[in-house]
């Protein structure tokens, strides 16, 4: 009877060592491969530039710069230009991108392909000149005309300026016309 508990604990210990010998190296290899690829993908790069007005060269404040992934055209990140027109997009992963700059009243600016990675960690696009979006609008004239007769609870209003029959007349012509409407 004394041999049975020892045999049972020997099998248990052997089983644990066997499982550790199989699982431990597999877990270590998986971590090593994952760390290399995730370290490259977690690396943070920056893209910066200055947005100016094409004619004057002055910085354009509050223009938006959107970072667009080249492979699928999806907007990944963005920034708003400061008062001098400077913008910085940080936290960018390695890859191919374009930058799209837009502001109301200006034509949208699209950059060429930008490659970001370990060889090019900080990309400075330099000066991005926005051109005014010249849309000539026609003159708009808003006109309104009151009704000839307005009925109120306590009075009736006759608008003589809208009555074409009293043109060239005087106040007595207007009063004669008002009596017709009573």
pLDDT of residue 134: 77
In a domain, 61, yes or no: yes
Last-in-domain residue among 115, 130, 145: 130
Ordered mean pLDDT values, 10 residues apiece, the chain (182 residues): 62 73 62 51 84 91 94 92 94 93 92 91 93 82 80 79 71 68 53
Same domain, residue pair 53 and 126: yes
Same domain, residue pair 125 and 57: yes
Contact 126, 87 (CB under 8 A): no
pLDDT of residue 42: 63
Same domain, residue pair 31 and 56: no
The burial class, CB within 10 Å (0-12 / 13-18 / 19+), for 139 is: exposed
In a domain, 139, yes or no: no
Same domain, residue pair 10 and 48: no
Same domain, residue pair 55 and 114: yes
Same domain, residue pair 57 and 94: yes
Question: In which domain, by residue range, is 25 found?
Answer: 1-42
pLDDT of residue 131: 92
| Structural domain total, the chain | 2
Alpha-carbon torsion, ordered 140, 103, 106, 101, to 10 deg: -160
pLDDT of residue 146: 75
């Amino acid at each position: 009877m004394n041999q049975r508990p020892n045999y049972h604990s020997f099998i248990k210990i052997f089983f644990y060592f066997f499982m550790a010998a199989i699982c431990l190296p597999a877990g270590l290899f998986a971590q090593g491969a994952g760390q290399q690829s995730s370290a490259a993908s977690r690396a943070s790069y920056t893209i910066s530039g200055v947005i100016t007005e094409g004619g004057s060269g002055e910085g354009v404040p509050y223009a938006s710069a959107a970072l667009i992934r080249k492979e699928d055209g999806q907007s990944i990140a963005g920034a708003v230009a400061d008062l001098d027109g400077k913008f910085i997009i940080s936290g960018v992963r390695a890859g191919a991108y374009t930058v799209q700059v837009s502001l109301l009243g200006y034509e949208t600016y699209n950059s060429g392909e930008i490659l970001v990675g370990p060889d090019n960690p900080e990309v400075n696009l330099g000066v991005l000149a926005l051109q005014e979006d010249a849309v000539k609008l026609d003159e708009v004239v808003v006109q309104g005309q009151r009704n000839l007769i307005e009925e109120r609870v306590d009075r009736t209003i006759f608008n003589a300026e809208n009555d074409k029959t009293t043109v060239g007349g005087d106040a007595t012509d207007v009063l004669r016309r008002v009596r017709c409407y009573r």
